[in-house]
Amino acid sequence: MFMLHAYMVYMRCLLFTFKCMFLVLVYIAIWFIYKCHLVKSGNKIMRIFPIIQKLIAFILFSNGWCFGCNEI
């Protein structure tokens, strides 16, 4: 029974880690698109990208998705 509990904690830690890594990659991709393509083109949709970046940063650090492995 202890091994099952340890396995579940480990899997939850991996899930938190993958969520965090995915959101960080999305954040970097949005930053790259914003800085390299949309600023140079002068597209009006580029005003949305900083808002999306702030939202992702808020989700990452307010919900503790990057700090989900503290049970191990």
The DSSP secondary structure of the chain, one letter per residue, reads -HHHHHHHHHHHHHHHHHHHHHHHHHHHHHHHHIIIIIHHHT-GGGGHHHHHHHHHHHHHHHTTGGGTTTT-
Q: What is the pTM of this model?
A: 0.55
Q: What is the pLDDT of residue 1?
A: 61
pLDDT of residue 63: 59
Does 57 fall in a domain?
A: yes
Six token digits for residue 5: 């509990």
What is the tally of structural domains in the chain? 1
pLDDT along the chain (72 residues), means of 10: 69 73 81 70 68 77 57 46
Structure-derived torsion over alpha carbons of residues 16, 20, 22, 23, reported in degrees to the nearest 10? 130
pLDDT value at residue 42: 61
Structure confidence at residue 72 (pLDDT): 44
**pLDDT value at position 36?**
72
In angstroms, the CA 42 to CA 16 distance is 37
Determine, yes or no, domain membership for 47.
Answer: yes
Q: Is residue 28 assigned to a domain?
A: yes
> Does the residue 24 lie in any domain?
yes
For residue 34, what are the domain limits? Answer: 19-64
Structural domain includes residue 12: no
